Structure 1
Amino acid sequence: MEDPTRPTWPFLGTEAPAFAITPGQLRGTRFRAIFRGVFVDARVPDTVVTRARAALLLAPEGAVVSHWTAARLWGGRVPDNDFVHVSFMRRVRWRVRGIKPHCFTHRLDVLRRHGLPVTSPGQTFCHLARFLGLVDLVALGDSLVRKSRITTEELVAYAEDWPGQCRAEALDAARLVRAGVDSSPETALRLLLMLAGLPEPTVDVRIRRADGSVRFRIELAFEEVLVAIEYDGRWHADPEQRVRDAARRDELTRSQGWTFVVVTSDELYGDPEELLVRVWDELRAAGMAVPPRPSDAWRAHFRVQRVAA
C-alpha cells in the first residue's frame, strides 16, 4: 500500500521532518541520495527529470536547466554526460558534486518542460555547439526536429541570430539538420557520405501505392540511380525484423530496380574508409557521376578504429 506521506519527488534533507522521515530512514534503503542533501523515494526511477528537479532544489535563484540535460528533457539525442547542467544570467560561485553550472551575459531563452525552467530547443542546440563535434550536433538537431521541438527553418534562423560563442559552428550544423531522420547513426551515415564528396542523399524516401498511401520507407537514397543506403542497428538483428527488412528490400529490388547498400555499426564506426569505397563503387556501377576518389574531409569527424591485418 502506498504511503501518502512519503514524497514521490526529490526533497531536501532539511525537509525530512515535515514528512515525518527520520535521519535513520534517510540513511536506510527507503530513500536514496541524488546529490548531497537531496533525497528521493528509492522507488522513484533515476530519470533526467528527477535529477534536474533535484539540482534545482540546491541551485541559487535563477537557475535554468541547460546543455546536455536540457537536450535530454526535450527528447534530443546527445552523447552521455555525467552532470546535471544548469545556467545563470549572472556570475555565481556555487559548486555541488554532480552539477555543472554555466554563467552567461546573454539572455537565457527559457521555456517550461516537465514543470522545470529549461533553455529552449534552439538555445540548447547553440549552447552545445561549443562542446559537441559536427556529427553529434547535427544528430541533436535531427532528433529535436523529429520530436517536433523545432523546425529546420527555425533552427537555422536561431543559429543565424545567435549572439553567443561558436555561432559559426552552430550555423554550419543547423544547415545540415534534416527532417525525417530516425537515428543518430543515420545522421552520421549521411554526413559521412556528404563529407566524402558525394551529393546529399535524400532522407526518408516514401514508396507509395497507387492510392497514395505509403508502402515502404527508405532511410537514405540516391533516387536518380535507385541506390538505397540503410543502417542496420541492433533492433534489425531481431529475427522477425530481419525477415521484414529482407522482404521489403527484395520487393523493391525486383519490382523497381533498387539496389541496397546495408551498413552495420562495425562499418560506420569501425571502418568508414572501407564503407566509403563500397558505396562509391556501387554508385559508379549504377551510373552516377562521382569524383575519382572520396574527399578526406570526413576524417576530421570519423575515426578509423579497425586495423588492417
Structure 2
Amino acid sequence: MPDTVVTRARAALLLAPDGAILSHWTAARLWGGRVPDNDFVHLSFMRRVRWRVRGIKPHCFTHRLDVLRRHGLPVTSPGQTFCHMARFLGLVDLVALGDSLVRKGRITTDELVAYAEDWVGQYRSEAVDAARQVREGVDSSPETALRLLMVLAGLPEPTVNVRIRRTDGSVRFRIELAYEDHQLAIEYDGRWHAEPEQSAHDAARREELNRSDGWHFVVVTADELYQDQESLLVRLWDELRAAGMPVPPHPEDAWRHHFRVQRVAA
C-alpha cells in the first residue's frame, strides 16, 4: 500500500480506543494544509485515555471536538485544527497553515478569524493574531514568510496575487506580491527558478511587464529570505522608499522574534 498520511491515519484509528479523532499535524495535512514535518499520527479524545503506541501521539481535551469527515475519516475541522496548532507553531508557520487552508478552499479568511475569535481553548490570542494575517491567493509558504517579514518590519503590506488582465478581462500575468499604485512587484524565486528554462521564462515575463506596463520587479532569493533577512529588509526598504512609498525611518525589529536570524558573512 502507498505510505501516505491517509494510510497512516486509517492504521492509527484501527489501533486506537473508541472516540479517536485525527487532529493537529495529521488533520492539517488531511485538509491539504502546509505544516512543518512531524513524525507522529496525532489523535485527539474528548476524555482522558491511558494508551500509548509508538508513532501515535494522543491528545486529551475537555472541550468539545469539532469533527468533520475527510477521506471518510473523523478529523477536526479546519478552524479547530488551526486553533489547536497555535500551541505548537510560531506566527509564520501558523499563518502559512491558514494561507494554505484558505487556498484549498477549506475555510475563508473571515470564517477563520471568526473561529479564532470564538475559540475558548488555550492560545486563543496567538490564533487570533495569526488568523488576522491570513490572506487569499497565497501560493507558497515562502510567499507567506516574505509578506510577514515585511509587515513585521513595519513596511507597507503588499497585495497578494495581483492579476494583470488583457482588454478582454482574461488574466495575462499574475504577480505574487505587489504595490499596484506604484507598479512595484516583490517576487520570491526559489531554487527551482535557477533552472535555465524557468529562469529564461521569468526574465521574459518581467521584461514584458516592465516594457509594456512599467512594472519594476524586486526578486528575493531563498538565501536572502532564510539566511540574511536583515540585508533583505534594507534592500526592500530602499526600493519602497525609491518608489515614493511611505516607510518608517528604518526597518523595525519585531520580525526578529519570528524569524531565525542567520546573517551571512560578506
Could you tell me the TM-score, scaled by structure 1's length? 0.85
CA distance in 1, matches of 2:194, 2:15: 44
CA shift, 1:241, in A, is: 1.9
Are 1:239 and 2:209 counterparts? no
CA distance in 2, matches of 1:237, 1:45: 32
| Alignment correspondent of 1:171 | 128
Are 1:227 and 2:227 counterparts? no
| Alignment correspondent of 1:276 | 233
1:96 pairs with 47, 53, 77, which one?
53
| Alignment correspondent of 1:126 | 83
| Alignment correspondent of 1:9 | none
Counterparts of residues 1-309 of structure 1 (less than 5 Å)? 44-309=1-266
Deviations for 1:220-246, whole angstroms, at most 9, x for unmatched residues? 011222111000113323322222211
SS in 1 for 2:2: coil
CA distance in 1, matches of 2:150, 2:263: 19
CA distance in 2, matches of 1:211, 1:227: 24
Is contact 1:69–1:84 with CA below 8 Å preserved after alignment?
Answer: yes
SS in 1 for 2:38: coil
CA shift, 1:304, in A, is: 1.9
CA distance in 2, matches of 1:88, 1:237: 47
Q: Which amino acid aligns with 2:230?
A: E
| Alignment correspondent of 1:12 | none
SS in 1 for 2:137: coil
Deviations for 1:230-279, whole angstroms, at most 9, x for unmatched residues? 00113323322222211110011111211111111100000011000111
SS in 2 for 1:102: strand
Deviations for 1:51-104, whole angstroms, at most 9, x for unmatched residues? 111111111100000000000000000000111000000000011111000000
Is contact 1:64–1:88 with CA below 8 Å preserved after alignment?
Answer: yes
SS in 1 for 2:148: helix
Percent of matched pairs sharing the same residue: 85
Paired residue total? 266
Is contact 2:230–2:263 with CA below 8 Å preserved after alignment?
Answer: no
CA shift, 1:45, in A, is: 1.4
Structure 1 residue runs without a partner (length 5+) = 1-43
CA distance in 2, matches of 1:172, 1:69: 23
Is contact 1:270–1:306 with CA below 8 Å preserved after alignment?
Answer: yes
Deviations for 1:122-169, whole angstroms, at most 9, x for unmatched residues? 000000000000000000000000000000011011001111100110
RMSD between superposed Cα atoms in Å: 0.9
SS in 2 for 1:221: strand
| Alignment correspondent of 1:37 | none
CA distance in 2, matches of 1:234, 1:216: 21
Structure 2 residue runs without a partner (length 5+) = none
SS in 2 for 1:255: helix
Is contact 2:229–2:263 with CA below 8 Å preserved after alignment?
Answer: no
Runs of 4+ in structure 1 displaced over 3 angstroms?
Answer: none
Is contact 1:225–1:283 with CA below 8 Å preserved after alignment?
Answer: no
SS in 2 for 1:57: helix
